[in-house]
Amino acid sequence: MNRFAIPLALFAALVVVFAVALKRAPEKQFVRSALIDKPAAEFQLPDLMNPGGMVDSRNFKGRWVLLNVWGTWCYECRAENPQLLAIRKEGKVAVLGLNYKDEDEAARQWLKELGNPFDAVAVDREGRVAIDYGVYGAPETFLIDPQGIIVHKVVSVITPELWQKQLLPLIEGAGK
């Protein structure tokens, strides 16, 4: 019995330490990326909603852009969709989708069922543009200012609270 007591006690102590550290970790959804305060990578990719067309990121310069990396295989992307619809409806930013490593038809069907929150959807089948942005999963979202500079990177679902308390103040405060 004693030979298991010490390892079990150490394991329990580690669990407690990690739980407290995770709970206290500030701003877990923001990742201080090396790309913040740097120009956003430019791209020209196929347009999901307009077969044969292209999405050119340069067309979004001059306005705030929320670049959202998503895929139909991403459970959290489904949960995030209603908030992205609300953000687009507000009209304060262009919402640009980057469909990451997905099937075109599945992605079109997904948007048809849930609603399309995007001003345009670029198709990144191989994930090459995602690599330029340092993406390692979905959803990930980048807030890009009108000059084309990455202001923030969010690695989580965009919730109404996150939008209202974190991202929107960055956009509205920029003019001051």
pLDDT by residue (tens digit) across 30-59? 446 788 999 999 999 999 999 999 999 999
d(CA 129, CA 127): 6
Residues 6+ away with beta carbon under 8 Å from 147: 61
Residue 138 has pLDDT above 90, yes or no: yes
Q: Which domains does the chain have, with CATH numbers?
A: 29-173 (3.40.30.10)
Q: Which residues pair with 120 in a beta bridge?
A: 96
Which segment of 25-29, 137-141, 145-149, 159-163 scores lowest on mean pLDDT?
A: 25-29
**What is the rounded average pLDDT of the residues 52-69?**
97
Rounded average pLDDT over 57-67: 97
pLDDT of residue 21: 54
Higher pLDDT, 33 or 126: 126
Per-residue confidence (pLDDT) for residue 9, from 0 to 100: 65
**In the predicted model, what is the mean pLDDT of the chain?**
89
- What's the pLDDT at 169? 96
Whether pTM > 0.85 for this model: the answer is no
99 close to 123: Cβ distance less than 8 angstroms: yes
Q: Which residue has the higher pLDDT, 174 or 135?
A: 135
CA distance 79 to 82: 7
For residue 61, what pLDDT is reported? 94
